[in-house]
Amino acid sequence: MSEKELYSQKMQAQLDEWKADLEKMKAKAKKAEADSKIEADKKIKKLEGKINDGQEKLDELKAAGDEAWKPLKSGFESAWSSIKSGFEEASSKLK
């Protein structure tokens, strides 16, 4: 076998190894994408829950009479703050 043929075989073997490594990387990337999607879906569900909680609290506040809402205000602000921080935390992890 000539030196050229040996060299070509060596280079082909390297290319074949790189191709195999590339396929492994693609498989890992697909898995990571799936894992990331699952995690993102969980976070989105959590965000939807936070938004629903916020809407319920706001609806309670709106439904309260002019004088009755004042005692609800501090509880609402506390709940709203908790919802806001939870929302911000979850949404920042999605970015």
Q: What is the DSSP letter of 64?
A: S
* pLDDT digits 0-9 by tens, 13-23: 988 888 888 88
Say what the pLDDT of residue 8 is. Answer: 85
Q: Which two three-digit tokens encode residue 48?
A: 């939807």
Encoded tokens for 73: 């205000």
Average pLDDT over residues 54-80: 78
- What is the spatial distance between Cα 93 and Cα 23, in angstroms, rounded to a whole number? 29
**Domain spans of the chain?**
3-94
**Cβ pair 83, 58 in contact under 8 A:** no
Question: In which band, very low, low, confident or very high, does the pLDDT at 80 lie, cut at 50, 70 and 90?
Answer: confident
pLDDT-derived band of residue 58, with 50, 70 and 90 as boundaries?
Answer: confident
Q: Please give the distance of CA 17 from its chain centroid, rounded to a whole number.
A: 34
Give the mean pLDDT of 54-60. Answer: 81
